[in-house]
Structure 1
Amino acid sequence: MMAGPRTSSPPPAVATPQTQTVPTETVPAKGTSGVMSGGTTPPTVVTAATADPSTSQTVTDFIEAVDNVPEASDSDADSTMGDEHSSFTASITSSIVKYRTLNGRTYHSDSIGDHYWGSNDQAQNNLLDIGHHVLTLLLDGKLYGPPLKEPIERVLDLGTGTGSWAIDFADAHPEAEIIGTDISPIQPTWVPPNVKLCYFSMIDDFNKPWLFPENHFDFIHIRWVPGTVHDWKWLFEQAYRTLKPGGWLESLDNDGFFRSDDGTMSETTATYDWKRIAIEGAKNMGLKPSICTVLDDLTRPAIDAAGFVNISETSYKVPYSEWPKDPKLKEIGLYCRAMLETDTEGMIGRLANAVGFTPEQTTIYSALVRKEMRSLNVHAYYCAKQVYGQKPEA
């Protein structure tokens, strides 16, 4: 599973703020596809309010692309394309590490159920580590958004993945105890001495009843888990119960598919079809309620309904390659493309299998996506949303 959020710093604005409604999109029928085509209004970007953290401001943020950009460097990765290219913790049982295998890739154990669509092998783990760096750049080096009160005693990282965020947090807060949970035991077996309080001992599913006591944590963090949460309101209610009064919850999630505002991602591009594959594949796998966490606005209403106050919401457009003119977004795009190229098949493989792709078709499709990202002529991005709220003081 994926990792977690931090301080909300909106990306550079290039348009005058104005109130706008996020458009409703219809999922294309199988065999068709579509992301922001036909003149559809681009998604909004919500910036965190500066005066009142419980409010938010909506703005349109169009990312300007560079002119006459040479194609990004190729790699040899795509041979199919020729030259392109305690009582709270659970021990690891034998059933947990009996991974399922699909087309040569490993996924979490059957004993967990079908909660997550991504692989859990080394290629995917490398992708997750690069993804952590992408979000670090996006959030200007901050690991979280809310104003946490010192001293920080206990922190819970849900869906910790490789543990990159938890280790960085523990490094910055050596006085804190960090517990990272995940359905796959892919975390490191050692940590540096200054992060010795960082534990990865609970291999657990956050969709099941939590065993943590009430009023236990100072901060609960969840990141990058599209399509894995069965009931966002229930999840946030569990977080509310286990947080101390005055504690904070933060969620940073994405939709995991491509969008474009300027028509460069047309029906003839492979990136255009990613959304259909992701949505139909998730549906066929039985993932619910939706893999489109941002598009379907799943987190903000749920955190509000769970009883949190002082809610802040920030949305971002994250470029998938280095096509933007803005230097910060260009760097983010460079690492985002590196992330995608590291394991395209691991991101889309199981979802593609669920819509009927053969292994060969998945390989070819993944190579086409990588080729489009390297060309820098497809101005694709994904939407991410950071939401955090506070449990009221006692």
Structure 2
Amino acid sequence: MSVTDSVYDYRYENGRRYHAYSEGKYPVPNDEIEKDRLDLQHHAFRLTLDGALYRAPIGKDIHHVLDVGTGTGIWAIVFQEHPSAEVIGTDLSPIQPTDVPPNCSFLIDDFDNDWVFRQQFDFIHTRAMVAAMKNWNRFLQQAYDNLKPGGYLEVQDFAFPPLCTDPSVTDENSPLLRWSTLFLEAASRIGIDGSSPLKIGPILRETGFENVECKIYKWPVGRWAKGDKMKLLGKFAYEDLQDWLPSSCLGLFTRVLKWSRDEVEVFLSTVRRELKEEKHRHFYARA
């Protein structure tokens, strides 16, 4: 089905472009800079899993798959590795390509609304939703209700704050950790808990999911880690963070903390300087 023209009436703010459907709900841009970042991040997630798209023990003959918060649609498109699967990707923004495999389709939808699908799913996947998720309980319940018996849900996400290998580094002497603290503060004011991915294990069990497995991966920010894989992952994480800094806070800091765009840009310059110059400070993200 074709989307209505109104979803393309994007909002422009501080030199960035934001979604129109459910306007203002997701404080992160949907422009070309952000699309490139999401595609780069996709490769970082695959590298983390040694090239795999997921960890769930799903079969090769899987049929119905849902990708919530599909972004550019890259995960859903690559899932054509399973030719038997029909994949639906949902997102607030129509930023997915139109030339896609015949078994892949996209739907402009708000996952906070009631889910109305014609079928239940064998596999539901979601990734990097920490800056969008206000109610994990409702989301996980809807996922549970829309899974076939024996189906799988996989949640891949980040948890704030980032950590440093040097315990003496705090948000008082580190611009990066100060950014994280400010992000958490601003996000909490609009109902988002940036540390929530670390807490969803018990919610999954309370919802009714069985055989729940939780695993934390570390992404080094920069090429300081040992081993070819971790050095490459660190390069991806560094580039991802460089673009995520303005994406994460231009909207939040100006709307919620009432900073000016200039104040945000000056502050982010100190964060970038730290990441570039403070080589003895080894930061890493948790995914």
When normalised by structure 1's length, the TM-score is 0.68
Aligned twin of 1:368 = 270
Q: Which runs of 5+ in 1 are unaligned?
A: 1-89, 385-394
Aligned 8 A contact 2:19 2:30 in 1: yes
* Amino acid aligned to 2:19: H
* Amino acid aligned to 2:147: L
CA distance in 1, matches of 2:127, 2:116: 21
* Amino acid aligned to 1:177: E
Aligned 8 A contact 1:340 1:370 in 2: no
Aligned twin of 1:75 = none
**1:294, distance to aligned residue in structure 2 (A):** 3.2
* Structure 1 residues 270 and 179: alpha-carbon distance in aligned structure 2, compared to 1, 3 A threshold: same
Aligned twin of 1:249 = 153
Of 151-160 and 273-282, more deviation after overlay is shown by 273-282
Name the % identity. Answer: 37
**1:258, distance to aligned residue in structure 2 (A):** 2.4
Aligned twin of 1:236 = 140
Rg comparison, structure with higher value:
1
**Which of 203, 218, 224 in structure 2 is aligned with 1:302?**
203
**1:348, distance to aligned residue in structure 2 (A):** 2.2
Structure possessing the higher relative contact order (Cα contacts under 8 Å, 6 or more residues apart): 1
* Structure 1 residues 129 and 279: alpha-carbon distance in aligned structure 2, compared to 1, 3 A threshold: same
Aligned twin of 2:252 = 351
**1:257, distance to aligned residue in structure 2 (A):** 4.0
Aligned 8 A contact 2:166 2:281 in 1: no
Aligned twin of 1:102 = 13
Of 233-242 and 137-146, more deviation after overlay is shown by 233-242
Aligned twin of 2:116 = 211
**Which of 160, 166, 170 in structure 2 is aligned with 1:262?**
166
Aligned 8 A contact 1:322 1:334 in 2: yes
Aligned 8 A contact 2:222 2:231 in 1: yes
* Structure 1 residues 208 and 91: alpha-carbon distance in aligned structure 2, compared to 1, 3 A threshold: farther
**Which of 48, 66, 75 in structure 2 is aligned with 1:165?**
75
Aligned twin of 1:76 = none
Aligned twin of 2:98 = 189
Q: Which runs of 5+ in 2 are unaligned?
A: none
* Structure 1 residues 349 and 100: alpha-carbon distance in aligned structure 2, compared to 1, 3 A threshold: same
* Structure 1 residues 292 and 208: alpha-carbon distance in aligned structure 2, compared to 1, 3 A threshold: same
**Which of 171, 174, 181 in structure 1 is aligned with 2:83?**
174
* Structure 1 residues 113 and 335: alpha-carbon distance in aligned structure 2, compared to 1, 3 A threshold: same
Deviations along 1:310-367, one digit per CA (max 9) or x if unpaired, are 1111012211211222432221111111122245311221122222321112112222
* Structure 1 residues 185 and 145: alpha-carbon distance in aligned structure 2, compared to 1, 3 A threshold: same
**1:235, distance to aligned residue in structure 2 (A):** 1.4
Where does 1:129-140 land on structure 2 (aligned, <5 Å)? 129-140=39-50
Aligned length: 284
RMSD over aligned CA atoms reads 1.9
**1:137, distance to aligned residue in structure 2 (A):** 1.0
* Amino acid aligned to 2:6: S
**Which of 37, 48, 63 in structure 2 is aligned with 1:127?**
37
SS in 2 for 1:366: helix
